[in-house]
Structures are given as structure tokens and as C-alpha cells.
Amino acid sequence: MRLRKKDLQKTKRRLVMEYDKKRFREEFPHLAKELEDVEGVRVQIRGVRTCEIKDIDVVRLIRRCDREEQAIEIIEYLKKRGEISEEYASQILKQLKEKGLRSFGSKISWGFFEKEYRNNF
């Protein structure tokens, strides 16, 4: 795409570029199709985690793992201690095998909680 000076308009806070529909479709055909699609792209959100730092659950522990074997070990340990039910453990193991380790969320790395909750204490 070639940016032309006449296409740019400056407002108080940002730089705005206007396109006519035909030119936009020519330069960005896939994006134009996606934007013009009535249904659009939908992503289902099944839940939102709002737990505090004190409420460390099995999912937070799994998110610290590097390998699936580590996650399985954690699930088995918590099941043995009675902290999670047999049914919930099998549900988590099924998700782990079908969708993988990162289906529980991105990896929690060293310093995550300190950055996340620094201002709460």
C-alpha cells in the first residue's frame, strides 16, 4: 500500500486516513470481507476469572507448568488430597489432553503475581 499525503487528515489527537470502499477492497480484500460480513467473527467467552491472589486454584497451578506431565502430576496430587473432586479432575484431564496445556491460559511466569497485585497490598 502506498500512503499518499492527501489521504491523511490530522485531528487534535490522532492521524486519520480515509478510504473509499472500492480502494479499500482492492488493497485489503480479506479485511474488507471480514468487516462487511454481517455475522463477523465471534469468539465465545465461557468465563471470567476474578479470583484474588489468596484463592490459588488448580487452573492457576496448571498455568505455571511447562509440560503436560507437570500438570497431570498437580491434578493427581490435588485429587489425592481431596482438594478437587474426581469429576472435576477428569474434566480438567480431558481438556488437557484434547486442547493442550495453554487452553487454561497463558503461562504464569516468575513475578506475575507481584506485577498483577502490586497495588492491592
Residues 59-68: tens digit of each pLDDT: 888 988 999 9
Count of residues making up the chain: 121
Structure pTM? 0.50
Residue type, 16: V
pLDDT, residue 40, reads 58
Which pLDDT value is given to residue 106?
Answer: 85
Q: Is the pLDDT of residue 6 over 70?
A: no
pLDDT at 72: 94
In the chain, which ranges are E strands? 8-10, 15-17
Most confident segment among 30-39, 49-58, 65-74: 65-74
